[in-house]
Structure 1
Amino acid sequence: MELPKRILELRELLHQHNYNYYVLDNPTISDYDFDQLLKELQSLENQYPEFADPNSPTQRVGGMITKNFETVVHEYRMYSLDNSYSREDLLDWENRIQKMLGDVPVQYTCELKYDGASISITYENGKLLRAVTRGDGFQGDDVTQNIKTIKSVPLQLKGNFPPKFDIRGEIILPLDGFEKMNQELIDIGETPYSNPRNTASGSLKLQDSSEVARRPLDCLLYSITGNNLPFPTQFDGLQAARDWSFKVPNQSKLAQNMHEVFEFIDYWDVHRHDLPYETDGVVIKVNDFHQQQELGYTAKAPRWAIAYKFKAEQVTTTLNSITYQVGRTGAITPVANLEPVQLAGTIVKRASLHNADQIEKLDLRIGDSVYVEKGGEIIPKVIGVAQRGPALEPVVYITHCPECQTELIRKEGEAQHYCPNYYGCPPQIIGRIEHYISRKAMDIEGLGGETVALLYHNGLVHDYSDLYELTVDQVIQLDRMAQKSSENLVNGIEKSKEVPFERVLFALGIRYVGETVAKKLARHYKSIEALQAASLMDLILVDEIGERIAQSVLEFFENENNQRIITRLKAFGIQFEVVEKFNPNATNKLQGKTFVVSGVFEKFNRDDLKISIEENGGKVGSSISAKTDYVIAGANMGPAKLEKATKLGVPIISEDDYIQLLNENN
């Protein structure tokens, strides 16, 4: 049977638009139009499942669950690189090369050393076959499903490529994406990630590829390995990779001698801060492949390549004091107040100290001359003592909240101290109100952080429910508030009553309940009353809701203050239930039945299958238990789920069985 022409056209078109957007940074279509084409392709692929393609653009959204990553032996070993830290090291390396090659001209390819997670991707007949982590260099983990979700990784190549080859590169997390991810964690009271490299590396081993798809990962490629490659040099190989659709940064340079290599290093040692991702050095390679073969390898590294490592941005300055910040969840963060100093192009006055353990480990004392570094971290940090002044006493970590004087607590296994005075500590109260009014929550126009603080300190609000009793006459009395701005604020508060339930739930500030979790809970329970009535086990059975989140939700609703606030918000007209869109095909056929969905499906994508279950009265669970009625199994169902379902005697059905279940008694 011939492949429907429109499916082929759409795949080629979407591959090209992905390439334009994520590789060339030159989109030629709007996001809306792209989504419409993608939906059309999804519909056709559902209609013609016999033409499924694992490298279709529709596979980028993820959905595969991988419990155990298969170990794969690299066809071509992934070597480490020898490091150098000075010009002398590089000149010594050049002398060794010339001694082995003789008196012949040598060109060098200079490339930025990206600070990410190494990956090797195999292509066969122009299609992505497999992606494997570096591992120990001889073998790594198969993370193909996760790599396919990264938009800059081509699923289908174009041009005149070899039948089979491996391409190596780094999976990175651009700085703006990293900051956005950290802000989302801060919004739910969680500890932010420490640096982009570790976060990118950890993302590759997430079990749910749909979670990887939500992360703004990128892939920068730099080396092609294989037999009978159609180019003679590394620099030509980089251009060929670009022509085949790979994202290869344009910062690489062909250097005719070591003097030009030094020029490249000197330039990027300064300008690397202008890049959207982290680099920690320069990789210098002998350009000619024949010369590379002649030079060969040591036991662990190629003789024809070397990494020059930039020095971490580091300065010394005086530690003037340590202050302690209180977050909206009560977490205490110590901050070093420094004598102002220039670091990486900015004036630094403050630096992170993380927690009490870090202060003790560094043995800090007020008045010390300290090293401050801005390397892999976005925020400067104190990394050590440069010089100790005489008779300085060790820093003693505070025992009471700096704002409300409540004695701090530190639970076993937690890194930070907390102020338990959740409802009486001013920064926590103000922080929760600021979170409530934020753009992704209630998005109250005309109300910002400074105004919230003014409202609180003037006794006009004590929690976010008080906002709905504010009048223009009250607000206009505040500093810098005129008639128009006061009216805008009150009108903005009134308009927030139209905000849908899922955003209201996020706005409440339940610990660990971010945007995504709030959406899942709202869609599952439909109303605040149903959510309040849920037991711990009920919550855990909701897709992707773990015990920590479930326990936090229970504790929030058990608190009398929160119960009072929610009662007031209801009275003010806040949306505490999902407004259902009318679906003429919805039924109650699955009422009281709990389903677990596992694997890859032909007639549904996973999200559509879950929506179908819920629209017909069923419940979607995240894990199999004795309360599970059915497991709907697709291709590549996880073996652990299969074993558990079999052990518990839970019926395992196919998507066709599910459709038949829906059609019964019609």
Structure 2
Amino acid sequence: MSPSDVSEADAANELMRLAKTIAKHNKLYHAEDTPEIADAEYDALVRRNNELEEAFPHLVREDSPNKLVGAAVAASPLSKVAHEQRMMSLDNGFSDEDIAEWLARVRRFLNLPEGEPVAVTAEDKIDGLSCSLRYERGALVLAATRGDGQIGEDVTANVRMIADIPQALSGETPDVFEIRGEVYMAKSDFDGLNARLMEEGKAEAVAKNVAFDPAKIRQFANPRNAAAGSLRQKDAKITAKRPLKFWAHGWGVASSVPGETAFDVMATIADWGLPLSPLVKRFETLEQMLDHYRHIETERADLPYDIDGVVYKVDRLDWQQRLGFVAKAPRWALAHKFPAEQAQTTLESIDIQVGRTGKLTPVGRLKPVTVGGVVVSNVTLHNRDEIERLGVRPGDRVLVQRAGDVIPQVAENLTRDEEREPYIFPDHCPKCNSEAVAEEGEVDVRCTGGLICPAQRFQRLAHFASRPALDIDGLGEKSIAEFIEAGFLESPADIFRLHQHRDAILARDGWQDKSVDNLLAAVETKRAANAARMLFGLGIRHIGAVSARDLMKKVTRLEEIGVLAEAIEAERSGIEKLPGEEEKKYRQRIDAAVSEVIAIDGVGAAVGHSLADFFHEPHNREVWKDLLKEVKPPDYIVETRDSAVAGKTVVFTGKLETMSRDEAKAQAEALGAKASGSVSAKTDLLVAGPGAGSKMKKAAELGIEVIDEAAWADIVKAAG
């Protein structure tokens, strides 16, 4: 549906779902190296999110995918390390028109005169693991993965085992220079590694005099996973045995930069001894860029490494500096992605998986097929509507596609016209037999069993104890599963009663006095945990980490969440349902009432309904009351950035002489301010250039502070 046909309430609802879905897949891809969807499908989610944000800019969320890079570092034996300069992601383009529009945006942002060329570098986008290499006085001192862009993993010892990466740079170098690039594995080396793992498995079976089972040999699914798994080893000796390679594509922190263009700096990096892409070129026209893209696409299958697109970068460094960044990506760069690869196979069965929130997800089991060099046997079918749209049934011949290194999606059902009974999506949960329903306007079917559902109980408790929620050290998924089986855990409150089972836990295999006491001590520290984390940990639908914080800003005390839910329910139940064609208006009236009760920036009607729905269920109210008996989180305190305009609303008007309007707004947002396009009672500051008109007059009427462009520049400078 076009954004122009979407109501504001529906847009807010969809943006929430997109933020959660994209964050989940970012974590699976970047932090866990276990992606579940194809690049093309992920890109489609991001495009939809961008369309809605552009149509409804006032609904942009704090957890918007456009404000996040990669994913937080998962539990790992490797040390964490903070990046001195954030490692960004890249925005994507998918068509020639996307690339033309990107170039046009660059020209508009820089206010370039017509006819002035924009030199751009173009190189193939290798499918590897992002890594930064910090050199001081030419010597390698630190290597780190990207992580979430701010915190990565220290892989210095492992990187020293990669022959492509010099321990010391050649020639004259700056005192500090951080080289950024990709650790990858060549296709032939990947095949050789998997073959070697299979042979080692056979040899081990012979040594133990047991039957050899190839299915038990853990082989890597693709070169990127192999590279990521090999680099992130606790024992660098294992990394040394893996055929890893590296190439540089940029830089981060630098005490000085050896050149005025990206092309020249990269040439210098090559002179220092770092490998670059052999296909990097510099162009000045869109036609040249697109010709290079098509040339690389033609050569793609024969390249010795996997790629998934071409990266364009504005060549002039002074222009790069002016263009700056959006929340997660530079304005001066764009990835031009390749289309998905396809193959035919048979859909042998459809299994239903039940997630933490009760969502029933259909998974197609395929007859194994090679797609783009990777053997795949599973495909997500997403939801009931997608199965109906494709008309798939067990036994159908299907066309599957993948883009990059992930589980594919069904692109087309090739035998949908054959006479066969349609697949009937279950209306009861396969785990607990509770009713499974889809909410009005929703495509996902969910189990209504909540914590009584075994599938949800484990995942909800694991979520409650996980790092983004309460972060209880020592209470991982393995322990939670063990304690549920033993009867120690059924609800979140039971976690805080584990001390009652100390002797029983100690009697179980693998537990010692120290490990049990450490776990119980860790649990005790969480009785006064952050209230927003605790609310997020309950796994209430639509209430993510950001919306939980927004709700706590409103109520301050955790106990008041229940009161807020009752107020929402009272508003909702007080509206009489209208019949027939008035149904849509009825829904809008409910949404308006809910939003009015909540009245929180970034939290819309969907969150209000979910909160009311949760507390409407008697067993959820019991879980809540039981939890509040065990925990006493402190009042929630809002933290703000230390900036002269942080948290304020700034409006720019008139003709700006030293920068474009887009550049000025980007500066404001970088300082923690909200850049608005209109003056209102909520405006804190008006930056006025020559020719300011009605906005200047309205600001004077409202008593709003007005400054000129030079004063704004002083604010930016003072903020560093």
**TM-score, normalised relative to structure 2:** 0.47
1:490 aligns with 2:520: yes
Task: Give per-residue Cα distances to partners, 1:477-502, cap 9 Å, x unaligned.
Answer: 55654555444433332232242222
1:150-191 CA-to-partner distances (Å, cap 9, x unmatched) read xxxxxxxxxxxxxxxxxxxxxxx9x9988327899xxxxxx9
User: Is structure 2 residue 552 aligned with structure 1 residue 532?
Assistant: no
Picking from 411, 419, 423, the partner of 1:395 is: 423
Match for 1:242 among 254, 262, 276?
Answer: 262
Partner in structure 2 of residue 575 of structure 1: 633
- The answer as to whether partners of 2:341 and 2:371 remain within 8 angstroms in 1 is yes
Q: Is the 8 A contact 2:121 2:281 kept in 1?
A: no
| Counterparts of residues 45-444 of structure 1 (less than 5 Å) | 179-180=25-26, 194-200=41-47, 202-203=49-50, 205=54, 207-208=57-58, 211=62, 214-216=67-69, 218-219=90-91, 227=114, 229=116, 242=262, 251-253=279-281, 264-265=296-297, 267-269=299-301, 274=306, 278-279=308-309, 312-375=340-403, 378-386=406-414, 392-444=420-472
Matched AA of 2:300: W
Amino acid in the other structure paired with 2:525: K
* Structure 1 counterpart of 2:599, from 541, 549, 552: 541
Larger gyration radius, structure 1 or structure 2: 1
CA–CA distance in structure 2, aligned partners of residues 435 and 406 of structure 1: 21
> What corresponds to 1:168 in structure 2?
none
Distance 1:309 1:491 in 2: 49
Identity %: 25
Residue of structure 1 aligned with 2:537, choices 480, 504, 507? 507
The letter for the 2-side match of 1:179 is H
Give RMSD over aligned pairs: 5.4
Deviation of 1:324 (Å):
0.6
Deviations 1:84-116 (A, max 9, x none): xxxxxxxxxxxxxxxxxxxxxxxxxxxxxxxxx
1:441–1:183 distance in 2 versus 1, CA, 3 Å: farther
Question: Displacement of 1:403 after TM fit?
Answer: 0.8
Deviation at 1:439, TM superposition (A): 0.4
2:505 aligned with 1:475, yes or no?
yes
After superposition, give the CA deviation of every residue in 1:276-334 in whole Å (9 maximum; x if it has no partner). Answer: xx53x899xxxxxxxxxxxxxxxxxxxxxxxx996632223332211111122222111
Aligned to 2:704: 654
Q: Distance in 2 between matches of 1:467 and 1:529?
A: 19
The 2-side partners of 1:183 and 1:232 are apart by 33
SS at match of 1:384: strand
Does 410-419 or 372-381 show the bigger shift?
372-381
- Aligned residue for 2:533, secondary structure, equals helix
TM-superposition CA deviations, 1:343-373 (whole Å, max 9, x none):
3444322111112222223232322332221
Selected match of 2:473 from 419, 439, 445: 445
Give the Cα–Cα distance (whole angstroms) in 1 for the partners of residues 91 and 404 of structure 2: 18
Matched position secondary structure for 1:218: coil
**Equivalent residue number for residue 23 of structure 1:** none
* Distance of 2:482 and 2:686 partners within structure 1: 58
Q: Are the structure 2 counterparts of residues 357 and 522 from structure 1 closer, same or farther at C-alpha, using a change threshold of 3 Å?
A: closer
Distance 2:373 2:503 in 1: 47
8 Å contact kept, 1:332–1:418? yes
| Compared CA separation, residues 273 and 514, structure 1 to 2 (3 A) | farther
Separation (CA, whole Å) in 2 of partners of 1:375 and 1:609: 36
Distance 1:542 1:375 in 2: 39
Which deviates more from structure 2 when the two are superposed, residues 378-387 or residues 364-373? Answer: 378-387
* Matches of 1:542 and 1:571, distance apart in 2: 28
Mapped contact 2:120–2:282 kept (Cα < 8 A): no
- Which digits, 9 at most, give the CA deviation of each residue in 1:429-478, with x for residues without a partner? 22211110110111111122233223223322111111111133233455
Find the residue that maps to 2:479 and give its secondary structure. helix
2:264, 2:480 → 1: CA distance?
54
Counterpart Cα distance in 2 of 1:406 and 1:333: 16
Q: In 2, are the aligned partners of 1:633 and 1:654 still within 8 Å (CA)?
A: yes
Distance 1:499 1:370, change over 3 A: same
SS in 2 for 1:319: strand
Q: Distance in 2 between matches of 1:360 and 1:559?
A: 31
Q: Give the 3-state SS of the residue equivalent to 1:195 in structure 2.
A: helix
**8 A Cα contact 1:370 1:385, kept in partner:** yes
Counterpart-to-counterpart distance in 1, 2:23 and 2:535: 25
**What are the ranges of 5 or more consecutive residues in structure 1 without an aligned counterpart?**
1-66, 69-172, 185-190, 284-307, 582-594, 612-621, 657-666
How far is the alpha carbon of 1:564 from its aligned partner? 3.1
The structure in which a higher percent of residues are helix is: 2
Shift of 1:223: 5.8
8 A contact 2:650–2:673 mirrored in 1? no
CA distance in 2, matches of 1:600, 1:181: 37
Comparing 512-521 with 431-440, greater Cα deviation is found at 512-521
By how many angstroms is 1:231 displaced? 9.1
Question: Any gaps of 5 or more consecutive residues in structure 2?
Answer: 5-18, 31-36, 70-88, 93-98, 108-112, 124-248, 250-258, 267-275, 313-335, 569-594, 640-646, 654-663, 689-693, 707-720
Contact 2:685 2:705 in 1 (8 A): yes
How far apart are the structure 2 equivalents of 1:477 and 1:526? 42
Structure 1 residues 503 and 410, CA, compared in 2 at 3 Å: closer, same or farther?
closer
Q: 1:635 to 1:395 in 2, by over 3 A?
A: same
Residues 397, 575 of structure 1: alpha-carbon distance in 2 compared, 3 angstrom cutoff: same
Contact 1:404 1:425 in 2 (8 A): yes
1:479 & 1:318 partners in 2: Cα distance? Answer: 44
**Maintained 8 Å contact 2:122/2:311:** no
**SS at the partner of 1:527?**
coil
Work out the CA distance in 2 between the residues paired with 1:491 and 1:232: 60
